[in-house]
Amino acid sequence: MTISAILANQKPDVFTALPHESVEDVVVRLAQNRIGALPVVDGTSVIGIFSERDIVYGVAKHGATFLTKTVADTMTAPAISVTPETAILSALSLMTKRRIRHLPVIKDNILVGFVSIGDLVKHRIEKIENEAAAMRDYINMA
């Protein structure tokens, strides 16, 4: 299975942040949409990720003035990304090794999706549950 299987079940719109936006504005957007991170885009290119972790580190380092900074000043860059053809297990391994929870999905240098570790784990659990159900059905038929 590849990342494209996960993208097929997601809404096509990806929330993003722009590098010139204030941290405060983006924090509000994260809260309103109940999400933990946004890819930061410049035109069609993903130049970084702005996440809850960036907020925690920024507040610890700068205090309340952190909210007045721009996303470009505070994001994690460069963004680690995958393609729609990346195997789900490879993406999970990458996230574990790099200790990240979100991956932009890039095709032909354009952002086509954004997946979280929760999306990948949910997909794996559903696959395992379906395989177990099929095995139970097979055993019950015998």
Tens digit of each residue's pLDDT (9 = 90 or more) over 6-42: 999 888 789 999 999 999 999 999 999 999 999 999 9
pLDDT of residue 142: 65
Concatenating the DSSP letter of every residue in 21-65 gives SBHHHHHHHHHHHT-SEEEEEETTEEEEEEEHHHHHHHHHHHGGG
pTM value is: 0.85
Q: In which domain, by residue range, is 98 found?
A: 3-141
Banded pLDDT at 44 (limits 50, 70, 90) = confident
Banded pLDDT at 137 (limits 50, 70, 90) = confident
CATH number at residue 34: 3.10.580.10
Task: Say if CB 91 and CB 103 are below 8 A apart.
Answer: yes
pLDDT of residue 93: 94
**How many structural domains are present in the chain?**
1
